[in-house]
């Protein structure tokens, strides 16, 4: 992809990359849902269907030195950031070969080598962590960017306001990314917030901000490129409200009694993969055979990831106190 300062130019190669990354997230999570019904994956499972354009559009413009802080709906963020699919799936299986040695599960994917700081099961819990990372960069005078993802439900938490306030007050290099999918678990935004325009909340803290169509990967990437450049140049925070919609339930346990089926179907016509692939084909940028190749490559990768997770080992019982209890007279981790 080539670009001017304000206007990116979409090349065929870059378009295929964006589409491929979104398809990779979608198909991986389809497989996760299937494995969950087979009880291969246990516990909670929160899927990202419909929101893929945000992870792909934002993380693609970050550098390796930048940090990513996510939520419990983080599989897509982890994959785009470079966490191997096999390591992510093995983690969901609870196997030692997982990215957290099988101890974190679906909601706690983590990879410090790739500057991916989780997965966080606490609503809004990643916001203070991002402030801490941003403060460290500020004190060291390093030009890194911390991208912090969170949902609209986190806006009702005290951490949201405290984190934005401190980031603005101390001029911290943080890109706040609100994935506004309109529902905090099963509660519509209008039932929890007197002001439903989330972008306006960031302006109260004098943080530069934008609201955008989170179902359009090109729009997300363009906004993220502007935002990351601003954070890196000024050292100050930036706020993106990406307006999106999750096509699946909040979690695999959710009966979705709080929203009408017709509403979900209306959003399916706006979902990012369908929308982007149709636009690319209508403009002769990609062709059906290109999409078939993407699907084939992703299917092969998923097959390998499942085999990797299935072949993984359970942690021995005698190791279960590792990282939990400190033992006097022993070296850490022994």
Q: Which residue has the tokens 């413009």?
A: 61
DSSP H helices, 141-197, are 158-169
Instruction: Flag whether the pTM goes above 0.85.
Output: yes
Neighbours of 163 (CB within 10 A): 28
Rounded CA-CA distance 272/291 in Å is 15
Region 318-327 average pLDDT:
81
For residue 330, tell me if it sits in a domain.
Answer: no
Position 329 confidence tier, pLDDT thresholds 50, 70, 90? low
| Whether the predicted pLDDT of 181 surpasses 70 | yes
Residue 30 banded pLDDT, cuts 50, 70, 90? very high
CA pair distance 200, 188, nearest whole angstrom:
18
The pLDDT of 229-256, averaged and rounded, is 94
pLDDT of residue 255: 87
Residue 221 Cα distances to 7, 143, 218, 279, 283, angstroms: 11, 20, 5, 16, 19
Question: What pLDDT is recorded for position 334?
Answer: 47
Asked if residue 91 belongs to a domain, the reply is: yes
Domain residues for 55?
2-319
User: Rounded CA gap, 225 and 8, in Å?
Assistant: 9
Quickly list DSSP for 56-76. HHHHTTS-TTSEEE--SS-HH
Q: For 153, list phi and psi in degrees, rounded to 5.
A: -65, -30
The answer to whether position 24 is within a domain reads yes
**Whole-number Å distance between alpha carbons of 273 and 246:** 13
CA dihedral 217, 221, 222, 226 (to 10 degrees): 150
First to last CA, the chain: 48
Query: Is residue 41 a part of any domain in this protein?
Result: yes
Say which range, 19-28, 228-237, 259-268, has the weakest mean pLDDT: 259-268
How does DSSP classify residue 116? B
Tens digits of residue pLDDT in 182-191: 999 989 999 9
d(CA 180, CA 29) in angstroms, rounded, equals 20
Q: What is the CATH number of the domain that holds 139?
A: 3.40.50.970
Q: How many domains does the chain have?
A: 1
Q: What tens digit of pLDDT does each residue of 37-90 get?
A: 999 999 999 999 999 999 999 999 999 999 999 999 999 999 999 999 999 999
Burial of 33 (0-12, 13-18, 19+ CB in 10 A): middle
Question: For residues 329 and 28, what is the distance between their CA atoms, to the nearest angstrom?
Answer: 44
> How long, in residues, is the chain?
334
**Quick check: is 332 in a domain?**
no
The reported pLDDT for the residue numbered 2 is: 41
DSSP string, 204-273: TTT-EEEEEETT-HHHHHHHHHHHHHHHHHH---EEEEEE---SS-SSTT---TTS-HHHHHHHHTT-HH
* DSSP code of residue 142: -
Band of residue 1 on the pLDDT scale cut at 50, 70, 90: very low
Looking at residue 3, its pLDDT comes to 46
The C-alpha atoms of residue 91 and residue 98 are separated, in whole angstroms, by: 4
Q: Is residue 141 part of a domain?
A: yes
Q: What is the pLDDT of residues 195-228, one digit of tens each?
A: 999 999 999 999 999 999 999 999 999 999 999 9
Question: Could you tell me which of 274, 225, 283, 224 has the C-alpha nearest to residue 11?
Answer: 283
In a domain, 15, yes or no: yes
With 60 as the cut, is the pLDDT of residue 325 above it? yes
In a domain, 326, yes or no: no
pLDDT of residue 324: 83
**Whole-number pLDDT of residue 319:** 87
């Amino acid at each position: 992809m080539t670009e001017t300062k304000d206007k990116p130019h979409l090349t065929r190669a870059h378009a295929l990359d964006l589409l491929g990354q979104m398809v990779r997230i979608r198909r991986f999570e389809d497989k996760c849902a299937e494995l969950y019904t087979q009880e291969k994956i246990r516990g909670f499972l929160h899927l990202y269907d419909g929101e893929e354009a945000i992870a792909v559009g934002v993380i693609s413009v970050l550098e390796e030195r930048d940090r990513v802080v996510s939520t419990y709906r983080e599989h897509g963020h982890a994959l785009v950031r470079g966490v191997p699919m096999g390591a992510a799936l093995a983690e969901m299986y609870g196997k030692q070969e997982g990215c957290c040695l099988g101890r974190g599960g679906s909601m706690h994917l983590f990879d410090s080598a790739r500057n991916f700081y989780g997965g966080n099961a606490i609503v809004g819990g990643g916001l203070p962590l991002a402030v801490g990372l941003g403060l460290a960069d500020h004190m060291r005078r390093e030009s890194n960017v911390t991208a912090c993802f969170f949902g609209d439900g986190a806006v009702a938490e005290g951490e949201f306001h405290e984190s934005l306030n401190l980031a603005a007050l101390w001029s911290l290099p943080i890109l706040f990314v609100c994935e506004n999918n309109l529902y905090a678990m099963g509660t519509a935004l209008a039932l929890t917030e007197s002001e439903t325009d989330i972008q306006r909340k960031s302006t109260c803290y004098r943080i530069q901000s934008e609201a955008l169509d989170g179902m359009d990967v090109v729009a997300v990437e363009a906004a993220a490129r502007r935002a990351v450049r601003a954070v890196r140049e000024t050292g100050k925070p930036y706020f993106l409200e990406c307006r999106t919609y999750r096509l699946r339930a909040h979690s695999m346990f959710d009966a979705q009694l709080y929203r009408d089926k017709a509403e979900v179907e209306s959003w399916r016509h706006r979902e990012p993969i369908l929308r982007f692939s149709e636009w690319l084909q209508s403009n002769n940028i990609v062709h059906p055979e290109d999409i078939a190749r993407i699907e084939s490559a992703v299917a092969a990768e998923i097959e390998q990831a499942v085999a990797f997770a299935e072949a993984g080992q359970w942690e021995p019982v005698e190791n279960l106190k590792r990282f939990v209890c400190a033992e006097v007279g022993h070296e850490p981790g022994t």
